[in-house]
Structure 1
Amino acid sequence: MKRFDEDIAFKMNCGILVSDNTPSEASYSRLLTKLSESTILEEAQEKVVLQAIAEGFIIDDTVAIDATHFEARDQAPPKEEKPKPEPKKRGRKSNEEREQWLIEQAERETNRPLFEKKIDAQLDVSFTELRTEVPQEPKWGVKKNSEGKNVRALF
Structure 2
Amino acid sequence: MKEDPFSGLYRTMMEAGGKAVPAGNARLLHGTVLSVAPLKIDVAGTTQEAERFYISHQLVSGHAEKLTVSGSAVSGALDISASCGNGSHSSMTISGGTVTLNAVATQDGPVLKAGDEVLLLTADDQTFYILDKVVRCG
Larger radius of gyration: 1
Query: With structure 2 as the length reference, what TM-score do the two structures score?
Result: 0.18
Higher relative strand content? 2
Query: With structure 1 as the length reference, what TM-score do the two structures score?
Result: 0.17
Q: RCO higher in 1 or 2 (8 Å CA, sep ≥ 6)?
A: 2
